[in-house]
Amino acid sequence: MPSHPHRYLLIAALCALLSAVLFLPGLGGGFLLDDQPTITENPAVQVATLDAQRLMGAAYGFTSGGGSRALPMLSFALDHWRAGLDAAAFKATNIVIHAVTTLALAGFLRLLLTLAGWPDKRAGYAAIALATAWAIHPLQVSSVLYIVQRMQTLGTLFLVLALMAYLKMRQAQIAGQRSRQFGVLAGLCWALALASKEDSILLPAYTLALEWTVLRFRAARPGLARTIRTLYWISGALGLAVFLLYVLPRHWSWAAYPGRDFSTPERLLTQCRVLAMYLGQILWPLPSRLPFYYDNLQPSRGLLQPWTTLPALLLMLGLLALAWRLRHRRPLFALGLLLFFAGHAVASNVIGLELAFEHRNHFPLIGAVLAAGDLLIMAASRLKLRPHHLALATAGVLLTLGSATALRARAWGSPIGFLEYETRIAPTSVRAWNSLCVEWYKSGGGARADNPNLDKAIASCTRAAKLDMKSVSSHTNLITYKTLRGNITDTDWRIYLNRLDKLPERSENGMSIWILIQNFQSGVALDENYLLEAIAIANTRYSYSAIMDASLGYFVLGHARQPNRAYPYFAQAILKAKDPSFTSGLISDLNREGKAELASRLQTLAAKEQISGQGSGQ
């Protein structure tokens, strides 16, 4: 490996570019899942001009996070400004970010290996090989081609840059040189990582792993070395206190989390299996082992339910113990394991997130690749392989990873092709079948009686409905699609109504009536009596906002022969709002619509509940 920095940078950039090329077959895929509320249904990022006000609104337009993740949100706005809602343009930006991250990772790993005592030439070769292995691993396909995961990939980019600046700072301190500028740079990169995704808060855990293994708290001045140790002790104690006194009480739940079917203890047990699954996918990334949808993953209900829970727990504890024991003898292996586990410290903890997602491995995969690479070096040493044999073995691994990634990226090349691929490798995933159902419906033109894909959509939703025993999403789609096709039956409606009435109160079940209402208002000739019955059932089981209750009232008022059937919804809206201005506006509107009797009843209710005077606002 040429030692000249410019030549090294050129070779690393070439490898990053070649890695990015593997993802190009996936450009034709569309928007998925969270892409829709974040981008296609979010007017904040759909900017037409680059004025400061619009860009600021876009940066803080992440509705799911209360305004966080400003940097990726701003980048979505810029993509929309240059290309509109063209998914390929958004994916192209993701690929560029991935290539830049690969280049940055090569620089970080080269510096790390140098600090670990490797000769410069050998460190250069290994750094580029490891960075390339990370970049072309098949697990990266979903992180790069799932547009909204730019939040994760940008976070990783700035974390890698922060870690590289940290290593430069510590290298200078070990040599007794000026280091403050690198500390400032590390802090700036960390701030940018935090502006991309919240789990970037784990940077101190990553730097602590570096200290425990490669750096060992060294410094030219003994006083500085003691200060570094003391600062880590203090920050570690503070971090533990925050977790125990704030995070744990806030998120721990002995019962099931809202909207989930597992409790905190069950989630923690399940995460042992999930982490073992991730390691298996990293080490043996067959396409059949890499489904995008994990909704069919069953929670662990105990140490032996399923039986794999206990072995997975013992494996995780054993790997952590091994990393600690080998932190001096095999520092790179130990560091890799510690980075892997630290990288999952948020997503595999007590917060009630979904159980598994591939993109959560985006940063932890760096640690896994580092540990695997160190094992390969150790095996080559013990087998006394010559350098060219090791090079051939490395090339074989990279060729295998790259081929698998190219094939998987190709499957992402069209919305229908991607979902058909996913239903083949995850045939019990309700989400995959339901997504395929909706995509067939959309690709055929949507709410049209002559939609050529209705039969395929109905077949996919029927499969999802048979698998799905906990929600009404698939049945909601079937009601609409069969109505369009003209063969809807009373049995279809009764199945839907029975599930709506009897299934656990999940938010997606409560929102199903709004999907039916929207379809009805779009011209789908849904049975009005059954629809009103569904609204009545949902109203007794789910709590909606005052505005939503009023919307139900208006809908019922416009489509029921008895106006009094709308009264309970308007009454609920008034009682929930407890806002005189909201109440007076509602009553005035009903009077203007000629519903004086209904307005009078609501006026009497408001007076009885003393909803008068200056309101607090809605």
512 has a pLDDT exceeding 80: yes
For the record, the structure tokens of 212 come out as 């425990």
Q: What gap in Å lies between CA 291 and CA 270, rounded to an integer?
A: 18
The structural domain count of the chain equals 3
Q: How confident is the model at residue 617 (pLDDT cuts 50, 70, 90)?
A: very low
SS3 302: strand
Answer yes or no: do 450 and 318 share one domain. no
Asked, for residue 594, whether it belongs to a domain, the answer is yes
Q: Among candidates 151, 184, 150, 158, which has minimal Cα distance to 169?
A: 184
Of the given ranges (57-66, 251-260, 264-273, 460-469), which has the lowest mean pLDDT? 57-66
Q: What gap in Å lies between CA 331 and CA 216, rounded to an integer?
A: 10
Q: What is the pLDDT of residue 134?
A: 97
pLDDT in tens, 440-488: 988 888 888 888 999 999 999 999 888 887 778 888 889 999 998 888 9
CATH number for position 508: 1.25.40
Answer yes or no: do 194 and 100 share one domain. yes
> How far is CA 173 from each of CA 97, 170, 238, rounded to the nearest angstrom?
31, 5, 25
Q: What is the pLDDT of residue 551?
A: 86
Answer yes or no: do 556 and 503 share one domain. no
Of the given ranges (416-425, 547-556, 558-567), which has the lowest mean pLDDT? 558-567
Q: What is the pLDDT of residue 399?
A: 93
> How far is CA 564 from each of CA 283, 552, 577, rounded to the nearest angstrom?
64, 13, 21
Asked, for residue 50, whether it belongs to a domain, the answer is no
Q: What is the mean pLDDT of residues 40-50?
A: 88
- Per cent of the chain over pLDDT 90 is 54
613 has a pLDDT exceeding 50: no
Q: What is the mean pLDDT of residues 282-305?
A: 91
Q: What is the pLDDT of residue 329?
A: 93
Q: Do 586 and 550 meet the contact criterion of CB atoms below 8 Å apart? A: yes
Answer yes or no: do 353 and 500 share one domain. no
Answer yes or no: do 397 and 484 share one domain. no
For the record, the structure tokens of 195 come out as 């502006």
Q: What is the pLDDT of residue 49?
A: 86
Asked, for residue 474, whether it belongs to a domain, the answer is yes
Q: What is the pLDDT of residue 67?
A: 53
Q: What is the pLDDT of residue 278?
A: 96
Asked, for residue 611, whether it belongs to a domain, the answer is yes
Answer yes or no: do 282 and 405 share one domain. yes
Answer yes or no: do 204 and 266 share one domain. yes
Asked, for residue 238, whether it belongs to a domain, the answer is no
For the record, the structure tokens of 162 come out as 């922060």
Answer yes or no: do 527 and 600 share one domain. no
302 phi and psi angles, rounded to 5 deg? -175, 180
Q: What is the pLDDT of residue 561?
A: 64
Q: What gap in Å lies between CA 32 and CA 415, rounded to an integer?
A: 9
Q: How confident is the model at residue 311 (pLDDT cuts 50, 70, 90)?
A: very high
Q: What is the pLDDT of residue 196?
A: 93
Answer yes or no: do 197 and 341 share one domain. yes
Q: How confident is the model at residue 615 (pLDDT cuts 50, 70, 90)?
A: very low
Q: What is the pLDDT of residue 618?
A: 33
Of the given ranges (45-49, 197-201, 429-433, 507-511), which has the lowest mean pLDDT? 507-511
Answer yes or no: do 475 and 523 share one domain. yes
Asked, for residue 40, whether it belongs to a domain, the answer is no
pLDDT in tens, 389-418: 888 888 899 999 999 999 999 999 999 999
Q: How confident is the model at residue 616 (pLDDT cuts 50, 70, 90)?
A: very low
Domain range for 613? 545-618
Of 495, 524, 542, which residue sits at a domain end? Answer: 542
pLDDT in tens, 140-186: 999 999 999 999 999 999 999 999 999 999 999 999 899 899 999 99
Answer yes or no: do 437 and 335 share one domain. no
pLDDT in tens, 347-382: 999 999 999 999 999 999 999 999 999 998 888 888
Q: Within 13 A of 91's CA, how many CA atoms are on the CB side? A: 24
Q: What gap in Å lies between CA 25 and CA 204, rounded to an integer?
A: 37
Answer yes or no: do 501 and 608 share one domain. no
